[in-house]
Amino acid sequence: MFVRAEGKDLEDKKGTDSAEIPIIVQDKPGPPEGPLNITDVFGDSCKLAWKPLIEDGSSPILGYVVEKLEEGSYIWDRMPGIVEGESRKIIGLKEVIKYKFRVRAEHVNGIGEPLEKTVIIKNSKRYS
């Protein structure tokens, strides 16, 4: 049997047929929508807030991964659990240290690109 594909049509000795095939492209999610707001900054904690992502990669979001990077370190510290909403309180910070925070969406196809911001933790004030 001889089959030849031309565009959407398939052809053999007995005739031609065509079919539409829906294609769903799935990818990792995009970054959450910014800005990454940092509020309630105290000597050992702060609160992060962001907006939901626009590009979900064609799959429902399971939640958000929140990480911090202390100045002078090269290892991101992942906060425990998956955040289901669009905010997270971060505790256990050190005073007068510069931190970089990032938030990434996660679903079945993986973890997406981050939304990032840097802040210095110091006595109930934010220095960014």
> Digits of tens for pLDDT over the chain (128 positions)?
344 444 566 677 777 777 777 877 778 888 999 999 999 988 888 999 999 988 777 788 999 999 999 999 999 999 999 899 999 999 999 888 899 999 999 988 889 999 999 888 765 554 55
Closest CA to 97 of 127, 56, 63, 67: 127
Q: Is residue 20 part of a domain?
A: no
In total, how many domains does the chain have?
A: 1
Q: Is residue 8 part of a domain?
A: no
Give the Cβ contact number of residue 126 at 10 Å: 14
pLDDT of 7: 55
Helices (H), 13-116: none
pLDDT of 18: 74
Entry pTM: 0.75
Q: Is residue 11 part of a domain?
A: no
pLDDT of 12: 76
CATH number for the domain spanning 37: value is 2.60.40.10
Q: Is residue 65 part of a domain?
A: yes
Q: Is residue 5 part of a domain?
A: no
Q: Is residue 38 part of a domain?
A: yes
Residue range(s) defining the domain that contains residue 48? 33-127
Closest CA to 95 of 71, 67, 76, 65: 71
pLDDT of 1: 39
Closest CA to 64 of 99, 2, 111, 117: 111
Q: Is residue 21 part of a domain?
A: no
Q: Contact 97/123 with Cβ under 8 angstroms?
A: no
Q: Is residue 27 part of a domain?
A: no
CA distance 112 to 67: 13
CA distance 85 to 125: 25
